[in-house]
Structure 1
């Protein structure tokens, strides 16, 4: 196998909405490059990509797949990514290590919201994009409408048409290339019949688009602009240079025409990638977490970045990496910068889906795989000794869906935990948490489909039956007014007894409130003398502020930590629903002790009981978690989405336009978000997307609190 230098490499992430034809295009590219002898198809379940059983069963990509092809002496690494937002981890990781996002658009459906989601990640990572308008042979294909939608969604002045079809639908077999000013004609099987000059009947449109392309190419380079003004045109090579500059600046998105199913236009697209896409040597150097640059240089220190792990049949754990710098060789020892552990790369592979070929070395900029690393995970860097660098972690979207999970057979608890941990390593957007508060194992994902896929894998691959059940809501409890209480703990049963008496008052805590001094409760005035304050930042949010207001030594200071401990224990189990309590100030101002029988246990119990009694008199209130929700929705579905949100007790915060969609911002209680991803997809035909992020805790409405109290009482009675 040839060893490729950085300038001979191209790294491409295939992105786009589900059903756009990315896997078919990848298959076609490998066949055209001679990497596979014949093309498979998604329908026949024999593609090089999409080779896992769950993908065959579902009929779409679930995992990203690392592939490669070759063209004119260069190697083109391709990462085929899933189009469904539920499996966004693959696209995000691919865009992190690839120089270009090749956006595949289904000419039948136009600029779908899935493509918009992918483009936002490309924008965040500052990655160039090239568009392939695919499935132009579909009877419902509409090239002109698709282009207009792309202009609205991705930028009117950025879309640069390099090719346009003569006809679309069943008669699609001719494409005009306005960069080369040639017409490509194919037969019904997709074989290129001829390349000719643009016929007269299409010359006017071709020249108009050619001139637009020339202007867009010239706009990105001052020297080219001068040439353009001087000559009135640019050569093909000069245009390529301008297009490349515009791509790198994300000011220009070249558009090509394809039918991947019939292999039409694919060879031309690959040639453009070979000639114009930036090589790793031309790309912006990688930055470390400390802000230093790591140039893609074969003469630099060896450094790898692990961007994907996968459990493969007969191989075990496979780690996919990009060579950031230097040359990595088979048998080389490298140091993991995250844990300083040594890893030996016993085997190196270049990968084409399920097919792997052993190689002796890989140079800077290349993408490869190795197996059986001991303590290296996604996002880790492996470096040669003495070169200790780390790269910024891949930033994945926040979860949108959660459920509680348990095995049907409780004896499988430990095995389930191990498998979920392994699945998280493969897919970092699948997050697992054991909630001590809720006493549930919670699994978070990008949508219901995402978690159902995990369930499918557990049942069919691991033979482990699990069941989902509704996740509890992490409510909080607090108080709304001042209250006071006291409690005497006294116990005598032979020998040393127990005695502790605590008088305290509690009030809602707010930042910046004045120190305690004088209180009036039930017509009685209580003066307190603040001796000290202990502010406790609660791990579940909010604060407990404990004020020592003891005077005259009625309670020894050595017992105060025990009183505080008793109060803290009760904060972990509020009296309304058993939820955590928060944002309370407690003033211990009086009490009694016994010279013999008083001890820490006595005062801990007295403090807990006094606090519990005061809490119930202080206007206790349940708080619920509120999330900021942003919904990206087509304008024609706006009314439906807004109506649905209002049934979820949402507070609409505002609306704005974004990339051809309406963006609706709202605040919604977590209790009402449940299966929102499924409901939104149903409401909009899969055309809308949303993000959510925790905002704050707010008091629940009175009717909701009443309902929660009744539910909690019923649960307590059952127990």
Structure 2
């Protein structure tokens, strides 16, 4: 096993679900001698996709780490899910990969899963290789798939190979880099090298010349030699391609059949020869803006990119050594929380199997167990080193559900389990809505949350229910009104008496002072739930003693916390207390608290009360032919389209949409576009609710109060 950073290759496989990533990995492991027999997804015996849930679904749900030795190099292989709901796994693995192997289904071409991960590939500037896989499919169409790749990813897409016979009889590949034809036996495996047929030489030469030109463009000395001699040697060609790939300026295209074991060996050879080692990359960004070079001679820094909880083991941490080396017994300081961690054991992973090792060097991937306080996105350094790897950034939740258990005694168990799952999956959000007091679970889509529900029941024995969350509305007024309210109660002995004259108005910054009153004191308060409350004390002549100011404010605040229309929080209101009466014996704090509450409620109803609803800025990326349907659906959701733009061959639609209309939007969008669109949403502001909607909400609240 290699201990040299230059001899490491970290490769992540990406692609739409069904593009054959897991099967291709199985072939890579078999070709490299890591396994004696290839498993299949259908037989549930692959090295990757090794959990019960993945066997049940026959799809990759979790990322998996493996490795294979190829010639003198160690190739670390990372498998990722193809569903956008599990994009967190893609982001985490791209963080530590140095090359992306992007699988494309030869029959389906460039699918949405391929396109959706590309923005993350671009963010990390990960060197990328495309593999048009499943060339043995009866509907395989290499030319169509290649054309789609060029249209979507541009002129940097340059084919290295093409199939001579696509479809079920596929067994020949023309390689324009080595200018040879590979012919495979019916059982796959090691091909026979043959001359390229004369009928194919023109096409092969054209492709070869394109590769030579691309290689020359990436190095000044090579460009000069190319101009002088019109060609490059094999070593010079490899050098130019290596530079172009590492700079994210060259996206080579290979062909293969993972299921038939045809073409994988050539691709692994290219990874071995041309793909960058961790030492060849431009370095890793630190949180302070500096760049850390991957160097085994430097002091140790590791980064935890994934954690998972295993019943018999506890917390398992997957990491990359970004510099230095790590051995069992090393003590590292967690840069995120200051905790000292002793690394008791280190392992390399082969799917679910783990093998203990005595050292890992810069650039390598490994696993450790039972860290005290190590979490995903944490950096651990040797003592005296102050570095923090720039953390991974995960998308906001696209689907929110209120969660609960029917047996309230299990509530604590539910939250303990959710927090464990949240630790494993940073795209999962768990929070308490302070307005509605509901427990809210946020995820990337229905499949994502369904998986959480499944795991809660199976792994933790918690039966969780989900429903659409309540909306946190706000109440305000758009006009001005006054009210007089007297609270009087006599029940033997001392009674209760308080009378208040009050004016309420919509508050906004810079508004003129209230007219017709004598302002004695004024207070402005930022409300905890947003918005302002302005309180003016305008009592003259001792009509109400100032010692009751606190009680009066308390009565108003009770109404602000639970507004008169729907019980929602009130905001942006100015109250002026300008007159009233008190009794020398019967007046007390509770009397004026109740009087203030009654006066506010009455004035509020007469001041054109208005509900406000949370609006979200929604961005949708959809193919051009789907934009009409998408925009039509948005109109039914009371959306305000704020703009459109082109992004690649997508149309980006921007809209302000009420949160109340976004329930299950992901499922609808998937249905409208055949799964070829994605969206993101972010809180924008609160805006007025239409009159008919407000009327319905007020009626619903009144009915709920009667039932209660």
Q: Settle same-fold status: TM greater than 0.5.
A: yes
Q: SS at the partner of 1:322?
A: strand
Q: Deviations over 1:333-383 (max 9, x none)?
A: 222222212221111111111010001121111111111112221111222
Which of 563, 574, 581 is the matching residue for 1:585?
574
Q: Deviations over 1:239-296 (max 9, x none)?
A: 2222222223322211111111122111111111112221111212222222233222
What's the offset of the Cα at 1:384?
1.7
1:250 is matched with 248
Give the Cα separation in 2 of the matches to 1:498 and 1:685.
67
TM-score norm. by structure 1 comes to: 0.93
1:386-425 equivalences under 5 Å are 386-425=384-423
> Runs of 5+ in structure 1 lacking a partner?
519-525
Is 1:535–2:521 an aligned residue pair?
A: no
Compared CA separation, residues 713 and 130, structure 1 to 2 (3 A):
same
Q: Is the 8 A contact 2:246 2:280 kept in 1?
A: no
Is 1:667–2:656 an aligned residue pair?
A: yes
Which of 485, 510, 514 is the matching residue for 1:513?
510
Q: Which moved more, 1:310-319 or 1:354-363?
A: 310-319
Give the Cα separation in 1 of the matches to 2:48 and 2:702.
54
Give the Cα separation in 2 of the matches to 1:429 and 1:83.
16
Which of 586, 594, 610 is the matching residue for 1:621?
610
Is 1:69–2:68 an aligned residue pair?
A: yes
Which of 230, 236, 258 is the matching residue for 1:238?
236
Q: SS at the partner of 1:452?
A: helix
Q: Is the 8 A contact 1:3 1:363 kept in 2?
A: no
Give the Cα separation in 1 of the matches to 2:305 and 2:577.
55
2:99 is matched with 100
2:185 is matched with 187
Compared CA separation, residues 672 and 517, structure 1 to 2 (3 A):
closer
What's the offset of the Cα at 1:401?
1.1
What's the offset of the Cα at 1:62?
1.0
Give the Cα separation in 2 of the matches to 1:420 and 1:98.
29
Which of 483, 486, 489 is the matching residue for 1:485?
483
Which of 250, 262, 265 is the matching residue for 1:264?
262
Compared CA separation, residues 17 and 556, structure 1 to 2 (3 A):
farther
1:556-567 equivalences under 5 Å are 559-567=548-556
Q: Deviations over 1:393-435 (max 9, x none)?
A: 2111111112122224332211111111111111111111222
What's the offset of the Cα at 1:324?
1.6
Give the Cα separation in 2 of the matches to 1:578 and 1:330.
59
Q: Which moved more, 1:609-618 or 1:675-684?
A: 609-618
Give the Cα separation in 1 of the matches to 2:250 and 2:540.
75
1:521 is matched with none
Q: SS at the partner of 1:211?
A: helix
Is 1:703–2:705 an aligned residue pair?
A: no
Q: Is the 8 A contact 2:497 2:588 kept in 1?
A: yes
* TM-align CA RMSD: 2.3
Q: Is the 8 A contact 1:3 1:361 kept in 2?
A: no
1:258-657 equivalences under 5 Å are 258-489=256-487, 501-510=499-508, 512-518=509-515, 526-529=516-519, 531-536=521-526, 538-550=527-539, 559-591=548-580, 601-657=590-646
Q: Deviations over 1:311-340 (max 9, x none)?
A: 224222101111122111102222222221
Compared CA separation, residues 142 and 616, structure 1 to 2 (3 A):
same
Aligned residues: 708
Give the Cα separation in 1 of the matches to 2:35 and 2:305.
25
Give the Cα separation in 2 of the matches to 1:551 and 1:178.
95
Give the Cα separation in 2 of the matches to 1:559 and 1:389.
57
Compared CA separation, residues 704 and 300, structure 1 to 2 (3 A):
same
Give the Cα separation in 2 of the matches to 1:552 and 1:172.
100
Q: Deviations over 1:41-64 (max 9, x none)?
A: 111111111111111111111111
What's the offset of the Cα at 1:470?
2.3
Give the Cα separation in 1 of the matches to 2:498 and 2:215.
84
Compared CA separation, residues 382 and 555, structure 1 to 2 (3 A):
farther
Q: Deviations over 1:467-525 (max 9, x none)?
A: 22222122222211112234445567788776655443222233x4334132xxxxxxx
> Runs of 5+ in structure 2 lacking a partner?
none
Give the Cα separation in 1 of the matches to 2:300 and 2:491.
74
Q: SS at the partner of 2:373?
A: coil
Q: Is the 8 A contact 1:531 1:550 kept in 2?
A: no
